Structure 1
Amino acid sequence: MLLGLLFTGTMYAAFAPANAEKGSDNQDEQIAAGRELFLVGCAFCHGQNGEGINSQNGQYGPSLIGVGAAAVDFQVGTGRMPMSQPGQQAAVKDKLYSDEEIEQLAAYVASLGPGPSIPTSDEYSLDHLTGEQKSEAIVRGGQLFLANCSACHNFEGSGGAMPWGKEAPSLRETSDKHIYEAMLTGPSQMDVFSNGNIAPEDKAAIIAYLNAIEDNPGYGGFGLGGLGPVSEGMFAWILGIGGLVGFAYWIAAHSARSEKTESSSEETNA
């Protein structure tokens, strides 16, 4: 028993601290590399320590202390940051950093203060559910989406206009991870839906609903951008009823009575 304890203790002392120290070193290296990237590409707007910068006209770059790694992964991973030029809203574009550099930036910003971490695929996927359970989750996700998200993103996630020159972007081509991160961090004018407001499994259900409606085929007719009754009503009034009025006017102008009236008028003039 004594030999067994000595052997176990020796093996633990030889390997466990080394592994822990190695993991710590890797984390420190990521943070250090992230800070170098941050000073070059982000500090001009957000400050050298992520404290934010205020200009004479207001806030130039918000503080990043406490936003968490998820916010960095979303903003930089979708190309919204760094911004090409100041504006009402950061536009989606091709990302400028590699996946490894995004991880390093996220690690540095996460070291500034506690915040939401980058979610794993288990958090935003329903692959672990059976077919019936997944169908029930999709129905629940649709109800949650219509109640909390459709006012801005449209009932099928096609996006829409917002006040002050902003917009709710389309969710049709957004990755599942970035949708989950957007709910966690609330980018731009979007509300923050923390796990206390919408549980993680409900966030995954919303994402499953969006994937389900994206896979649904369009059964004929014009989609009209999927913008709902406003665009459909405008199409019906302007093109539908307007076309009928124009056609009725054309019939009246080319009827036998109108031709007879024109002939009578010519005889009178003669």
Structure 2
Amino acid sequence: MSPSSSRRNGRWLGRALTQRRRHPFAAVAILLVVLFACGSAYATLSPSTTSSPTASAAAQTTQIEEGRQLFAIGCASCHGLGGEGQVRDDGTVLGPSLIGVGAASVDFQVGTGRMPMAAPGAQAERKTPSYSEEQTAALAAYVESLAPGPEIPDDAMLDTNAEGVDVARGGLLFRTNCAQCHNTTGQGGALTYGQEAPNLTGVDPKHIYEAMLTGPQAMPVFNDETLDPVDKRDIIAYLESVENEPDPGGLGIGRAGPVSEGLWAWLVGIGGLIAFAAWIVTRSASARRSS
């Protein structure tokens, strides 16, 4: 092809493209092509998230409904069908209102076997739970749906091996806020009106956290304004460290501190010496009589 013919073909192609660009629908066509390409790329590359919230909401609704059915069977006789509580005509409280207590309170009471109670008493004792973990979670979800309240702590709040956990600080906080009832090592102690501060040895860290957060029975509420999540985690770390400590003397003596150690010294130590002295005197008197 000669240079002149190439120039003519180029001029012809340029005029054709110019005419097409001047077409009234050219801009619209280009815009549609660009939008289609962007939409296809987004649909292909972006993760699918449209079904997840719907599935999650459906699962939550199912869990709440399961909790409502369990509540109607095992809890409504005392707490009312709507969790509003029940009071007898003489003023006796059969069951307090659960509206606003939150999922953490239900998880603690049901997860430790304190609820449901066989009969009203001075204090609900810890026992083998009547419900499985899934049923407990369903009951907690239902009560949480009645009104918002303290939530169940997540794993990060309970990780006592995380960076920044201070066992010594946790011990100071425990002795300041908890030792008056639970003893300095969490062994528990007697309270008034037939109640007691329970032994914290072997208690699930989640339940210790929930107890501080909700204040069950005679226990005061240590909300996040009183003891923040870091404080609560340090206290749990301290209790775990005490539980894992060996007993160098061979006997823990309840780990009640100087009280039990002094009692042991008086009863066994000095008491033994007195008994031995009395035996010597008796033996001497018997020897003189026989002579």
* Percent of matched pairs sharing the same residue: 50
Distance 1:245 1:65, change over 3 A: same
Structure 2 runs not aligned, ≥5 long: 1-33
Q: Deviations over 1:171-208 (max 9, x none)?
A: 11101111111111111111111111111011111111
Distance 1:150 1:47, change over 3 A: same
Alignment match, 2:99: 65
The CA distance in 2 between the partners of 1:52 and 1:263, in whole Å, is 79
- For 1:184, give the aligned amino acid: L
Q: Does 1:84 align with 2:118?
A: yes
Structure 1 runs not aligned, ≥5 long: 265-270
Give secondary structure in 2 for the equivalent of 1:254.
Answer: helix
Q: Deviations over 1:107-157 (max 9, x none)?
A: 10001111111111111113331xxx44xx011101111111111111111
The CA distance in 1 between the partners of 2:82 and 2:223, in whole Å, is 26
Alignment match, 1:35: 68
Give secondary structure in 1 for the equivalent of 2:81.
Answer: coil
* 1:160-239 matches, cutoff 5 A: 160-239=189-268
Shift of 1:84: 2.0
- For 1:229, give the aligned amino acid: P
Larger Rg: 2
The CA distance in 2 between the partners of 1:41 and 1:165, in whole Å, is 26
Normalised TM-score (structure 2): 0.81
Shift of 1:103: 1.1
Q: What is the aligned counterpart of 1:54 among 77, 87, 112?
A: 87
Aligned length: 256
- For 2:101, give the aligned amino acid: V
CA contact (8 A) 2:160 2:236 kept: no
- For 1:126, give the aligned amino acid: T
Alignment match, 1:98: 132
Alignment match, 1:138: 167
What's the Cα RMSD here? 2.3
The CA distance in 2 between the partners of 1:73 and 1:181, in whole Å, is 8
Alignment match, 1:267: none
